[in-house]
Amino acid sequence: MCDTCGCGDTEIVPVDVRERILSHNDHQAAHNRQHFVAGGVLAINLMGSPGAGKTAMLEATARALPDAKLAAISGDLATDHDEARLSHAGITAATINTDSGCHLDAELVHRRLHDVPWRDASVLFIENVGNLVCPAVYDLGQAANVVALSVTEGVDKPEKYPVRFRAADLVLLTKIDLLPHLPGISVEAIAASLAKVNPQPRLLPVSAVSGEGIGAWTDWLASRR
Partner 1 sequence: MHEYSIIQALIGRVTEAAEQRQATRIHRITVRIGELAGVDADLLSSAFELVRGHSLCAEAELTINRVAARWDCAACGRVIEAAMPLCCPTCDEPARLSAGDEMYLDRIEMEVPDV
Q: Which residues lie near partner 1 (CB under 8 A)?
A: 1-2, 8-25, 101-103, 105, 133-134, 136-138, 162-164, 166, 195-200
200/182 Cα distance (integer angstroms): 27
CB of 74 to partner 1, least distance (A): 19
Nearer to partner 1, 97 or 122 (CB): 97
Closest CA to 213 of 185, 175, 181, 166: 175
Q: Considering the complex, state which of residue 17 and residue 38 has its C-beta at the smaller distance from partner 1.
A: 17
Q: Residue 156 and residue 13: Cα distance in Å, rounded?
A: 48
Q: Which is nearer to partner 1, 138 or 217 (CB)?
A: 138
Rounded to a whole number of angstroms, the minimum distance from the CB of residue 179 to partner 1 is: 24
User: What's the CA angle centered on 164, arms 162 and 165, to 5 degrees?
Assistant: 65
Q: Nearest distance from residue 138's CB to partner 1, in Å?
A: 8
Closest distance of CB 151 from partner 1, Å: 22
In this complex, which beta carbon is closest to partner 1, that of residue 64 or of residue 137?
137
The backbone torsions φ and ψ at residue 220, rounded to the nearest 5 degrees and listed phi first, read -60, -45
